[in-house]
Amino acid sequence: MKRLLSNWTFMAFLVFVVEMFILVSLAPNMLDTYNLKNMLNNFLVIGMIALPMTLVIITGGIDLSVGSIVSLSGVTLGVLWQQGVPIWLAAAIAVVVGGIAGIINGIVIVRTGIQPLIATLATMFIYAGVALVVGGRNSIAGFPASFYKFGTSALFDVIPAQLIIFIVLAAIFGLLLHRTTFGRKIYFLGNNESSAVYSGVEVNRVKLCIYTLSGLVAGLGGVILGSYFFSVRGDMGDGYEFLVITACLVGGVNAYGGSGTILGTVLGTFIIGMLNQGMNMMNISSVEQKIATGIILILAVVVQQLNTYFTRRKKPKPLADNVRVQSR
């Protein structure tokens, strides 16, 4: 039992179950088919972007620019459509633009040695500024009905398309992180970058890859949001970076790097997403929702650190130390 309680993924699952029980008790119609589909569509993009963010944080990095990349990709889609580019080609280009933004983040970090926090904070402002210059604060709409269905349709009128995309991405990133050599390099890098370098790990290449993946999925998120809301604008991704990071940390990704799982991030996404949607249904103000989210984030990080501290204390002493004690 103690082993289960020390497993953060298991604890996150328990938190989610308790949360759902409380929310359903307070808002019984929360799990109606219509409400459930709307709720999932409102926060699954955050979960998608959180998947590559998990890899970034495990390496000891951070990507604060994902919200701005969402905005940049969204207005790229809108502007191209206005210029007569077919909607699906415009969507593909928008995703590529997100990937290019991620590549730029990676290059800045690996070539200059600037800390990811500072580098992506700078690019966050740059990408957000470009998005506002290109798209402005006015919405760009008028997309074809077929594009609208991309972000709002549901398989058998029950399973949202966004949920299917999220599950596929979670499976891909889960395999990448937990079943490949590349994933082991990510953990190695997060635990000790110097040792990883001396062991022959292509540290710069790993960093460049994960920031590119982060940009690509953020670009995809911009396209999905454009489809879901049937419009795009230059500030559509504002604040998304904080929700994405919160989902990762609540899911058990260590803020200092070195540990975390995709399953944990999936659970963290649902914990944060369902909490916010439940509070919306109870007519709780956005300000109070932000307070609740902040408290949950602090508690998650504190519990992680306490768990790490007590786990280290319980580790047995080295054999040499035991021998010395017995010889005395």
pLDDT tens-digit series, residues 9-36:
777 788 888 878 887 787 777 777 666 7
Beta-carbon contacts of residue 76 (< 8 Å; ≥ 6 apart): 90, 93, 94, 97, 134, 222
pTM: 0.88
Q: What is the pLDDT of residue 86?
A: 93
Summarised one tens digit per residue, pLDDT across range 248-267 is 998 888 888 888 899 999 99
Question: Hey, is 154 helix, strand or coil?
Answer: strand
Average pLDDT rounded to a whole number, residues 221-231: 91
Question: Hey, is 159 helix, strand or coil?
Answer: strand
Q: Rounded mean pLDDT of the chain?
A: 85
Strand partners, 160: 154
Tokens 């904070």 sit on residue: 121
Beta-carbon contacts of residue 70 (< 8 Å; ≥ 6 apart): 45, 49, 98, 218, 219, 221, 222, 225, 236, 237, 240
Tokens at 292, concatenated? 């609740």
Q: Give Cα 155 to chain centroid, integer Å.
A: 24
